[in-house]
Structure 1
Amino acid sequence: MFKGHPNDEILLAKIGKGDKTAFSVLYNRYRHKVYAYAVRVVKSNELAEDILHEVFLKLWLNESAAAIMNLDAYLQVAAKNLALNVLRKQKLEELYKQHVKNDERDYIADTTAEHIHGRETARLIDTAKSLLPPQQRMVYELCKEKGMKYEEVADQLSISKLTVKTHMQLALRSLKAYLMAHTDTALLIVAIIPCYFF
């Protein structure tokens, strides 16, 4: 607990009128006690210094300083409240940092899994394509990978649109069967569905 002094009331009255000398006297009289109390609570010299300055800034800006009956108690309560606010802020910052760290860890894990999943899907499709008859593979690549319509493929390969459609249907059927036999997720089938309309 802080110990009071007989002339605190006089000095507080002068501070209420903006007397910097009176403020300096009280600051020097109590700063060590305020600092010691703060450092016990926050366990940090730097934070205790900040609290010390805030406590006395609050006193200096207090227009009712002259009405303070017990400066000891006033300074202790002010230091305690500021110290507790600092601790709460530290706790919140720690929780936030942990939250961000967890989010980053989850993002990295998800991104890695997606990358591996994407590579595996591409590898399976490439293998399945290599097993297609040459004409089917060519039709599939032109339609699916180059985004060409059936009519465009028919013109390029000098075959009918119906033949292109037949080759595409057979290719998709073969790719689907291969993927179903080599993976436990039917979602991979989405990768081979052509993204055009006919």
Structure 2
Amino acid sequence: MKINDSKILEKLKKGDSKAFKELFDLYYLPLSTYSLKYCDSFSLAEDIVQDLFIKIWNDRLYMKFDKNIGSYLFKAVKNNTLQQIKKKYNFVGIEDYVNNLMVEEAVDNEYLEEKRNRLHMQIEALPKKSKEVFKAIVLDNLKYKEAALEFGITVNTVKTHYTRALKQLRNAVEIIIIFFFI
């Protein structure tokens, strides 16, 4: 278990809502992205992750995490996503559905290049500050605090710009996901 995770969990068990927000901020996007490996809807993926976080908040006093919270979250998201797919397809052919999703991820280079160009165009079309913040966080892998220092703005302003960029790029999320998993 990461030291940061264990501190967050200790605070969470005491009912600290800031710790919950920290956990949410740390894992929300990676979990949503992971869920998309198994389902074909970003909206469904978000719902699954949000439901998991609601369950964690509601059960925080009774939950015991002896292992890595990250592993638990990713396994729960995978299981919950597959359950939703089973419900959607009435338990018929779920293995075929999941296998088809995996096969569909195998795309040719020309298709990837086209999607990469489209993604870059959409990133470049973002407002200047949102684009800078997005690139710093996603491409340069900076933390919010580091980006705030680099641009001379507050952490909340960084989060605002990053959120705006993600909202505008949400239409291109399938493109982003392709590049995360290739």
Pair member with larger Rg: 1
User: Per the shorter chain, which TM-score range?
Assistant: 0.3 to 0.5
